[in-house]
Amino acid sequence: MAAFNLSIPKMQLQIEEAWDDAMQRADYMAKVSALTGQLSRQTARVSPVITGSGQNAKKITKTIIWPTICTNTVSDCSDECAVSSSEASDSSIDITLSLCKSVDFKESYKRFRSSNLDFENVVARQFLTKMKALDEALANAFIAFVAASKGTHEYSLAVGANSSGDWQIPAVDWSVDLIPEFMLSAEFSRFTNPYILDGLNFWTQSVRASANQPNGEGKGDANLFSVFPLVSDPVNMSVTAPAKTYLVNASAIALVTGNFWDTRPTTFAGDHRMWKQPSRNLPGVMYDVHEVTACSSDDFVVSYRISANYGFFLNPVGCTAGRKGVLSYEKV
């Protein structure tokens, strides 16, 4: 019979061993290209804290304060001594991580009485599988946030037309020739850190351009596709935002996550432990873990809940209405 009391250090070692094995790791790698593309580029870093008392003690919040300076008038010089100028105002926003996603699993004593499997090894594989599902759920939540955050098109493309914030482009015009149009869109919208988030619209042509790059006649398309970092997530985009492509200013969006617990387990009443566990697919993301041992139907059952406390936020600093850092395009 395998040991039943979970040794967290041993379980963590089992996670490391499974992840380091290239064959096993293939089963736990999530489809999260859209979100990892943003995490590797976002410049905002927010460290949320647990605040409040009583009913509010379970909220993770952070107040961000910044000066608002939107009046910039350039005029001819004058010899007058009197100086008229504008003054900055202070603005703030309360960041509350009100969103939460979780996955559950359990293991029971009876199952391991006749099993040759190691308890910690099975729990470790459960963790990797469940965290993979959380990773992909966050990736789809990010795409949904991008879709809901589309701003105003300040440049009119030579093809297609605006429809409620989505610049609709006929399928026949979806080619590498759109890249110069996207460049102008980024210029007019003052994007400082732009990338293209795409699903299937550019997929075939970008792959073909990459394959033809060594050929003299293929270098031009490859060079155009390299103007913007191209983040391709065909799996999640085709589900959450089909036929859409986004031009994203990475500096304008931030994924903020927070935790109630530390990496060192906290124990309550001897049968309830909590700690935080790092995601294997999303750099910097930690998940809260609850472990509860209980007796049920003449069987000892250990239940686990893995939770993500998170929020997606737009950069609150902005002086131009409609300039949100996201431009939406749709193949029609």
Best-predicted range by mean pLDDT (8-22, 259-273, 281-295): 281-295
The pLDDT assigned to 61 comes to 85
* Ordered DSSP codes for 261-297: S-SS-EEETTTEEEEEEE-SSSTT-EEEEEEEEEE-S
Question: Phi then psi for 242, rounded to 5 degrees?
Answer: -65, 140
Which residues does residue 38 pair with via DSSP β-bridges, in sequence order? Answer: none
Helices 119-148 and 8-20: angle between axes, nearest 10 degrees? 70
Look at 169 and 76; give whichever has higher pLDDT.
Answer: 169
CA 155 – CA 147 distance, rounded (Å):
19
- Number of Cα atoms under 13 Å in the Cβ half of residue 20: 6
The pLDDT assigned to 5 comes to 57
CA 331 – CA 141 distance, rounded (Å):
22
CA 86 – CA 319 distance, rounded (Å):
15
Say whether 43 sits in a helix, a strand or coil: coil
- Cβ-count burial 26-41 (b if 16+ within 10 Å, e if not): eebebbbbbbbbbbeb
For residue 118, give the DSSP letter. -
- Cβ-count burial 309-329 (b if 16+ within 10 Å, e if not): bbbbbbbeebeeeebbbbbbb
Closest CA to 132 of 277, 311, 293: 277
> Residue 195, Cα to own-chain centre: how many angstroms?
14
Closest CA to 101 of 122, 81, 74, 130: 130
Q: List, for residues 135-156, the tens digit of each pLDDT value.
A: 999 999 999 999 999 999 999 9
Q: Which of 42-51, 125-134, 158-167 has the lowest mean pLDDT?
A: 42-51
Question: Phi then psi for 87, rounded to 5 degrees?
Answer: -115, 145
How confident is residue 74, by pLDDT bands cut at 50, 70 and 90? confident
For the record, the structure tokens of 216 come out as: 């003299």
How confident is residue 56, by pLDDT bands cut at 50, 70 and 90? low
- Asked whether the CA dihedral 257, 258, 263, 268 is positive or negative, the reply is negative
Q: H helices then E strands: how many in the chain?
A: 9, 15
Mean pLDDT, range 171-186, rounded to an integer: 95
For the record, the structure tokens of 292 come out as: 């509860």
The pLDDT assigned to 3 comes to 42
pLDDT, mean over the chain: 87
Q: Quick check: 77 pLDDT over 80? A: no
Note the pTM of the prediction, 2 decimals: 0.88
CB atoms near residue 99 (< 10 Å): 15
CA 164 – CA 267 distance, rounded (Å):
52
Look at 78 and 231; give whichever has higher pLDDT.
Answer: 231
Q: Quick check: 2 pLDDT over 50? A: no
Q: Are strands 59-68 and 89-96 parallel, antiparallel or unpaired?
A: antiparallel
For residue 81, give the DSSP letter. S
